[in-house]
Structure 1
Amino acid sequence: MYFAALLARTEDGWEASDTELDDVETLSDLADLARESTPDDDTVLVLIEQEDAWFGVVRIDGEDDPRIYVSDAAAAARSSYGEILLTDELLGRDPADDGNDLDALDLDGTEDGETDGDGEDGEEDGGSADAVPHGPVGDVGILDDLGVTKKELLSLSADAVTEIADALGASETLETVR
Protein backbone atom coordinates (compact mmCIF):
# COMPACT_ATOMS: atom_id res chain seq x y z
CA MET A 1 0.00 0.00 0.00
CA TYR A 2 1.23 3.46 -0.90
CA PHE A 3 0.84 6.80 0.76
CA ALA A 4 1.78 10.09 -0.86
CA ALA A 5 1.40 13.58 0.56
CA LEU A 6 2.54 17.10 -0.19
CA LEU A 7 3.79 19.28 2.66
CA ALA A 8 4.12 22.94 1.74
CA ARG A 9 5.92 25.31 4.09
CA THR A 10 4.08 28.60 4.27
CA GLU A 11 4.46 31.64 6.50
CA ASP A 12 1.71 30.10 8.67
CA GLY A 13 3.48 26.75 9.02
CA TRP A 14 3.16 23.49 7.15
CA GLU A 15 0.11 22.72 5.03
CA ALA A 16 -0.56 19.17 3.93
CA SER A 17 -2.52 17.67 1.10
CA ASP A 18 -2.78 14.11 -0.03
CA THR A 19 -2.03 13.59 -3.63
CA GLU A 20 -2.91 11.15 -6.33
CA LEU A 21 0.08 10.12 -8.39
CA ASP A 22 -1.93 8.26 -11.02
CA ASP A 23 -1.41 11.01 -13.62
CA VAL A 24 2.24 11.58 -12.71
CA GLU A 25 4.60 9.86 -15.14
CA THR A 26 7.86 11.77 -14.70
CA LEU A 27 9.79 13.66 -12.06
CA SER A 28 8.97 16.83 -13.98
CA ASP A 29 5.23 16.07 -13.65
CA LEU A 30 5.71 15.53 -9.91
CA ALA A 31 7.61 18.80 -9.52
CA ASP A 32 4.88 20.68 -11.44
CA LEU A 33 2.21 19.14 -9.19
CA ALA A 34 4.15 20.21 -6.10
CA ARG A 35 4.68 23.76 -7.39
CA GLU A 36 0.96 24.08 -8.13
CA SER A 37 0.17 23.27 -4.49
CA THR A 38 1.49 26.60 -3.23
CA PRO A 39 0.89 30.09 -4.60
CA ASP A 40 4.36 31.29 -3.61
CA ASP A 41 7.78 29.78 -4.16
CA ASP A 42 7.56 28.00 -0.82
CA THR A 43 9.39 24.80 -0.03
CA VAL A 44 7.29 21.77 -0.90
CA LEU A 45 8.05 18.22 0.17
CA VAL A 46 6.54 15.24 -1.57
CA LEU A 47 6.59 12.28 0.78
CA ILE A 48 5.95 8.85 -0.69
CA GLU A 49 6.09 5.55 1.14
CA GLN A 50 5.32 1.95 0.42
CA GLU A 51 4.68 0.11 3.67
CA ASP A 52 7.78 -1.57 5.07
CA ALA A 53 9.59 -1.42 1.72
CA TRP A 54 10.85 2.09 0.95
CA PHE A 55 10.14 5.79 1.22
CA GLY A 56 11.10 8.79 -0.83
CA VAL A 57 11.36 12.52 -0.28
CA VAL A 58 11.29 15.02 -3.12
CA ARG A 59 12.02 18.62 -2.20
CA ILE A 60 11.09 21.49 -4.46
CA ASP A 61 12.30 24.98 -3.55
CA GLY A 62 10.71 27.45 -5.98
CA GLU A 63 11.97 26.90 -9.50
CA ASP A 64 15.10 25.01 -8.40
CA ASP A 65 15.58 21.45 -9.65
CA PRO A 66 13.97 18.87 -7.38
CA ARG A 67 16.17 17.24 -4.77
CA ILE A 68 15.49 13.55 -4.16
CA TYR A 69 16.18 10.96 -1.50
CA VAL A 70 15.06 7.32 -1.75
CA SER A 71 15.59 4.97 1.20
CA ASP A 72 16.00 1.77 -0.84
CA ALA A 73 16.55 2.15 -4.57
CA ALA A 74 16.18 -1.55 -5.37
CA ALA A 75 12.80 -1.76 -3.62
CA ALA A 76 11.64 1.50 -5.21
CA ALA A 77 12.67 0.26 -8.66
CA ARG A 78 9.99 -2.42 -8.38
CA SER A 79 7.34 0.27 -7.89
CA SER A 80 5.80 2.51 -10.51
CA TYR A 81 6.00 5.45 -8.10
CA GLY A 82 9.58 4.63 -7.23
CA GLU A 83 10.54 4.55 -10.89
CA ILE A 84 9.45 8.20 -11.14
CA LEU A 85 12.05 9.15 -8.53
CA LEU A 86 14.90 6.94 -9.74
CA THR A 87 16.22 9.14 -12.50
CA ASP A 88 19.37 8.31 -14.46
CA GLU A 89 21.10 11.21 -12.73
CA LEU A 90 20.15 9.94 -9.28
CA LEU A 91 21.47 6.48 -10.12
CA GLY A 92 24.65 7.81 -11.72
CA ARG A 93 23.76 6.59 -15.19
CA ASP A 94 24.42 8.30 -18.48
CA PRO A 95 20.95 9.01 -19.93
CA ALA A 96 22.37 8.69 -23.46
CA ASP A 97 23.55 5.14 -22.67
CA ASP A 98 20.52 2.98 -23.31
CA GLY A 99 22.57 -0.21 -23.39
CA ASN A 100 21.90 -0.74 -27.09
CA ASP A 101 25.09 0.67 -28.58
CA LEU A 102 25.64 -1.74 -31.44
CA ASP A 103 28.79 0.06 -32.58
CA ALA A 104 30.59 -1.03 -29.40
CA LEU A 105 29.80 -4.71 -29.94
CA ASP A 106 32.38 -7.10 -31.27
CA LEU A 107 31.35 -9.74 -33.77
CA ASP A 108 30.86 -12.24 -30.93
CA GLY A 109 28.20 -9.97 -29.36
CA THR A 110 30.32 -8.73 -26.47
CA GLU A 111 31.33 -5.13 -25.97
CA ASP A 112 34.86 -4.03 -26.80
CA GLY A 113 37.23 -5.35 -24.16
CA GLU A 114 34.62 -7.58 -22.47
CA THR A 115 34.56 -11.32 -22.20
CA ASP A 116 31.48 -13.30 -23.05
CA GLY A 117 30.29 -13.28 -19.42
CA ASP A 118 32.50 -16.01 -18.06
CA GLY A 119 35.07 -14.83 -15.56
CA GLU A 120 38.59 -16.18 -15.51
CA ASP A 121 37.42 -18.97 -13.22
CA GLY A 122 34.68 -20.01 -15.64
CA GLU A 123 31.85 -18.61 -13.50
CA GLU A 124 29.30 -16.10 -14.74
CA ASP A 125 30.18 -12.48 -13.94
CA GLY A 126 27.75 -10.87 -11.49
CA GLY A 127 26.21 -7.43 -11.68
CA SER A 128 25.00 -5.24 -14.47
CA ALA A 129 25.56 -1.66 -15.47
CA ASP A 130 21.81 -1.16 -15.08
CA ALA A 131 21.63 -2.76 -11.63
CA VAL A 132 19.91 -0.58 -9.07
CA PRO A 133 21.74 -0.43 -5.74
CA HIS A 134 20.19 -1.78 -2.58
CA GLY A 135 19.97 0.92 0.05
CA PRO A 136 19.63 4.68 -0.04
CA VAL A 137 20.35 6.95 -2.99
CA GLY A 138 20.10 10.65 -3.47
CA ASP A 139 20.56 13.74 -1.34
CA VAL A 140 20.90 12.61 2.29
CA GLY A 141 21.12 16.27 3.34
CA ILE A 142 17.73 17.05 1.80
CA LEU A 143 16.13 17.85 5.18
CA ASP A 144 19.15 19.12 7.16
CA ASP A 145 17.95 22.72 7.32
CA LEU A 146 14.47 21.54 8.34
CA GLY A 147 15.66 19.62 11.40
CA VAL A 148 16.22 16.09 10.07
CA THR A 149 19.93 15.33 9.92
CA LYS A 150 21.59 12.96 7.47
CA LYS A 151 22.10 10.42 10.24
CA GLU A 152 18.44 10.61 11.28
CA LEU A 153 17.23 10.33 7.69
CA LEU A 154 19.36 7.24 7.08
CA SER A 155 18.05 5.60 10.27
CA LEU A 156 14.34 6.05 9.48
CA SER A 157 12.39 2.88 8.90
CA ALA A 158 8.84 1.61 8.56
CA ASP A 159 6.99 4.78 9.58
CA ALA A 160 9.41 7.25 8.01
CA VAL A 161 6.83 9.72 6.68
CA THR A 162 5.30 10.14 10.14
CA GLU A 163 8.73 10.49 11.72
CA ILE A 164 9.69 13.17 9.18
CA ALA A 165 6.44 15.04 9.81
CA ASP A 166 7.09 14.85 13.58
CA ALA A 167 10.56 16.35 13.13
CA LEU A 168 9.13 19.15 10.99
CA GLY A 169 6.37 19.88 13.50
CA ALA A 170 3.79 18.87 10.90
CA SER A 171 2.51 15.55 12.25
CA GLU A 172 -0.99 16.83 13.07
CA THR A 173 -1.20 18.47 9.65
CA LEU A 174 -0.12 15.26 7.94
CA GLU A 175 -2.61 13.16 9.91
CA THR A 176 -5.47 15.23 8.51
CA VAL A 177 -4.73 13.85 5.04
CA ARG A 178 -3.69 10.33 6.01
Structure 2
Amino acid sequence: MYFAALLARTEDGWEASDTELDDVETLSDLADLAREAAPDEDTVLVLIEQEDAWFGVVRFDGEDDARIYVSDALAAARSSYGEILLTDELLGRDPDDPGDDLDALDLDGTEDGENDNENDDTDDATGDDSLPHGPVGDRAILDDLGVSEKELLSLSGDAVGEIADALGASEVLETVR
Protein backbone atom coordinates (compact mmCIF):
# COMPACT_ATOMS: atom_id res chain seq x y z
CA MET A 1 0.00 0.00 0.00
CA TYR A 2 1.29 3.42 -0.96
CA PHE A 3 0.77 6.84 0.47
CA ALA A 4 1.81 10.00 -1.34
CA ALA A 5 1.29 13.60 -0.31
CA LEU A 6 2.44 17.05 -1.32
CA LEU A 7 3.51 19.50 1.36
CA ALA A 8 3.81 23.07 0.13
CA ARG A 9 5.40 25.69 2.36
CA THR A 10 3.52 28.96 2.14
CA GLU A 11 3.48 32.24 4.06
CA ASP A 12 0.81 30.72 6.30
CA GLY A 13 2.73 27.50 7.00
CA TRP A 14 2.53 24.08 5.41
CA GLU A 15 -0.38 23.06 3.19
CA ALA A 16 -0.92 19.39 2.42
CA SER A 17 -2.69 17.71 -0.44
CA ASP A 18 -3.22 14.07 -1.17
CA THR A 19 -1.84 13.19 -4.54
CA GLU A 20 -2.58 10.44 -7.00
CA LEU A 21 0.50 9.23 -8.81
CA ASP A 22 -1.37 7.05 -11.30
CA ASP A 23 -0.80 9.55 -14.14
CA VAL A 24 2.79 10.32 -13.12
CA GLU A 25 5.27 8.40 -15.25
CA THR A 26 8.40 10.54 -15.03
CA LEU A 27 10.17 12.89 -12.66
CA SER A 28 9.15 15.70 -14.99
CA ASP A 29 5.47 14.77 -14.51
CA LEU A 30 6.02 14.80 -10.76
CA ALA A 31 7.68 18.22 -10.99
CA ASP A 32 4.70 19.61 -12.90
CA LEU A 33 2.31 18.23 -10.28
CA ALA A 34 4.37 19.69 -7.43
CA ARG A 35 4.78 23.10 -9.03
CA GLU A 36 1.01 23.33 -9.57
CA ALA A 37 0.64 22.97 -5.79
CA ALA A 38 2.89 26.00 -5.17
CA PRO A 39 2.33 28.63 -7.82
CA ASP A 40 4.44 31.18 -5.91
CA GLU A 41 7.58 29.04 -6.29
CA ASP A 42 7.44 28.00 -2.66
CA THR A 43 9.17 24.86 -1.42
CA VAL A 44 7.18 21.73 -2.19
CA LEU A 45 7.92 18.30 -0.78
CA VAL A 46 6.55 15.15 -2.31
CA LEU A 47 6.50 12.40 0.29
CA ILE A 48 6.01 8.83 -0.90
CA GLU A 49 5.85 5.81 1.34
CA GLN A 50 5.29 2.12 0.70
CA GLU A 51 4.33 0.63 4.04
CA ASP A 52 7.55 -0.25 5.85
CA ALA A 53 9.53 -1.09 2.70
CA TRP A 54 10.82 2.33 1.63
CA PHE A 55 10.06 6.04 1.52
CA GLY A 56 11.12 8.88 -0.71
CA VAL A 57 11.33 12.64 -0.45
CA VAL A 58 11.43 14.85 -3.51
CA ARG A 59 11.99 18.54 -2.98
CA PHE A 60 11.22 21.31 -5.43
CA ASP A 61 12.33 24.87 -4.72
CA GLY A 62 10.89 27.10 -7.43
CA GLU A 63 12.40 26.24 -10.78
CA ASP A 64 15.49 24.54 -9.31
CA ASP A 65 16.13 20.91 -10.18
CA ALA A 66 14.49 18.33 -7.97
CA ARG A 67 16.39 17.06 -4.97
CA ILE A 68 15.67 13.42 -4.19
CA TYR A 69 16.22 11.04 -1.30
CA VAL A 70 15.14 7.37 -1.32
CA SER A 71 15.52 5.29 1.84
CA ASP A 72 16.12 1.96 0.07
CA ALA A 73 16.95 1.91 -3.64
CA LEU A 74 16.56 -1.83 -4.06
CA ALA A 75 13.09 -1.89 -2.49
CA ALA A 76 12.01 1.22 -4.41
CA ALA A 77 13.16 -0.28 -7.72
CA ARG A 78 10.51 -2.96 -7.32
CA SER A 79 7.83 -0.27 -7.23
CA SER A 80 6.49 1.72 -10.16
CA TYR A 81 6.53 4.85 -7.99
CA GLY A 82 10.06 4.16 -6.84
CA GLU A 83 11.24 3.80 -10.41
CA ILE A 84 10.17 7.40 -11.05
CA LEU A 85 12.58 8.61 -8.35
CA LEU A 86 15.52 6.35 -9.22
CA THR A 87 16.93 8.44 -12.03
CA ASP A 88 20.22 7.67 -13.78
CA GLU A 89 21.75 10.72 -12.12
CA LEU A 90 20.63 9.63 -8.65
CA LEU A 91 22.09 6.16 -9.17
CA GLY A 92 25.30 7.42 -10.76
CA ARG A 93 24.52 5.80 -14.10
CA ASP A 94 25.52 7.18 -17.47
CA PRO A 95 22.29 7.64 -19.46
CA ASP A 96 24.28 7.31 -22.70
CA ASP A 97 25.69 3.91 -21.70
CA PRO A 98 23.94 1.27 -23.81
CA GLY A 99 24.41 -1.22 -20.97
CA ASP A 100 21.90 0.85 -18.98
CA ASP A 101 19.28 0.94 -21.74
CA LEU A 102 17.03 -1.99 -22.51
CA ASP A 103 15.76 -0.21 -25.65
CA ALA A 104 19.17 -0.65 -27.29
CA LEU A 105 18.75 -4.43 -27.28
CA ASP A 106 17.64 -6.42 -30.30
CA LEU A 107 14.90 -8.99 -29.86
CA ASP A 108 17.53 -11.68 -29.27
CA GLY A 109 18.96 -9.73 -26.32
CA THR A 110 22.11 -8.52 -28.08
CA GLU A 111 22.91 -4.89 -28.73
CA ASP A 112 22.40 -3.50 -32.23
CA GLY A 113 25.19 -4.75 -34.48
CA GLU A 114 26.64 -7.00 -31.76
CA ASN A 115 27.61 -10.56 -32.59
CA ASP A 116 25.64 -13.12 -30.57
CA ASN A 117 28.83 -15.04 -29.77
CA GLU A 118 30.86 -12.14 -28.40
CA ASN A 119 31.73 -12.28 -24.72
CA ASP A 120 30.82 -9.07 -23.01
CA ASP A 121 32.71 -8.43 -19.78
CA THR A 122 30.81 -5.27 -18.86
CA ASP A 123 28.45 -5.27 -15.92
CA ASP A 124 24.75 -5.37 -16.64
CA ALA A 125 23.56 -2.27 -14.82
CA THR A 126 19.92 -2.95 -15.54
CA GLY A 127 19.50 -5.69 -12.94
CA ASP A 128 18.76 -5.33 -9.24
CA ASP A 129 22.36 -6.32 -8.43
CA SER A 130 23.53 -2.84 -9.41
CA LEU A 131 21.25 -1.10 -6.90
CA PRO A 132 22.30 -0.47 -3.33
CA HIS A 133 20.22 -2.00 -0.57
CA GLY A 134 20.01 1.23 1.34
CA PRO A 135 19.63 4.98 0.95
CA VAL A 136 20.50 6.97 -2.16
CA GLY A 137 20.24 10.63 -2.96
CA ASP A 138 20.52 13.93 -1.14
CA ARG A 139 20.79 13.11 2.54
CA ALA A 140 20.80 16.81 3.42
CA ILE A 141 17.48 17.39 1.61
CA LEU A 142 15.68 18.48 4.78
CA ASP A 143 18.56 19.95 6.82
CA ASP A 144 17.36 23.55 6.53
CA LEU A 145 13.83 22.45 7.46
CA GLY A 146 14.85 20.85 10.75
CA VAL A 147 15.49 17.21 9.80
CA SER A 148 19.20 16.42 9.88
CA GLU A 149 20.93 13.80 7.77
CA LYS A 150 21.32 11.60 10.84
CA GLU A 151 17.61 11.87 11.65
CA LEU A 152 16.63 11.16 8.04
CA LEU A 153 18.79 8.04 7.93
CA SER A 154 17.29 6.74 11.18
CA LEU A 155 13.64 7.01 10.06
CA SER A 156 11.62 3.84 9.73
CA GLY A 157 8.02 2.77 10.03
CA ASP A 158 5.92 5.90 9.61
CA ALA A 159 8.72 7.97 8.09
CA VAL A 160 6.34 10.35 6.32
CA GLY A 161 4.54 11.06 9.61
CA GLU A 162 7.84 11.60 11.42
CA ILE A 163 9.04 14.01 8.73
CA ALA A 164 5.76 15.94 8.87
CA ASP A 165 5.99 16.07 12.67
CA ALA A 166 9.54 17.47 12.52
CA LEU A 167 8.39 20.10 10.00
CA GLY A 168 5.43 21.08 12.15
CA ALA A 169 3.06 19.82 9.47
CA SER A 170 1.66 16.67 11.06
CA GLU A 171 -1.85 18.12 11.53
CA VAL A 172 -2.17 19.18 7.89
CA LEU A 173 -0.76 15.86 6.72
CA GLU A 174 -3.31 13.95 8.77
CA THR A 175 -6.11 15.79 6.96
CA VAL A 176 -5.10 14.08 3.69
CA ARG A 177 -4.15 10.67 5.10
Q: TM-score, normalised by structure 1?
A: 0.87
Give the distance between the partners of 2:61 and 2:41, measured in 1 at CA: 7
The 5 Å alignment of 1:24-173 reads 24-99=24-99, 100=104, 102=111, 108-111=117-120, 114=121, 128-130=124-126, 131-173=130-172
Residues 92, 104 of structure 1: alpha-carbon distance in 2 compared, 3 angstrom cutoff: farther
RMSD, aligned CA: 1.8
Give the distance between the partners of 1:66 and 1:30, measured in 2 at CA: 10
Q: Deviations over 1:71-98 (max 9, x none)?
A: 0000000000000000011011011113
- 1 or 2, which has the higher helix percentage? 2
The alpha carbon displacement at 1:136 in A equals 0.3
SS in 1 for 2:141: coil
SS in 2 for 1:64: coil
SS in 2 for 1:165: helix
Q: TM-score, normalised by structure 2?
A: 0.88
- Structure 1 residues not aligned, in runs of 5+: 116-126
Q: For the pair shown, which has the larger CA radius of gyration, 1 or 2? A: 1
The alpha carbon displacement at 1:103 in A equals 7.8
Q: Deviations over 1:94-138 (max 9, x none)?
A: 111132584896774223xx39xxxxxxxxxxx743321110000
Q: Tell me the matched-pair count.
A: 165
Detail structure 1 runs of 4+ shifted over 6 Å in the superposition.
Answer: none
Give the distance between the partners of 2:84 and 2:12, measured in 1 at CA: 31
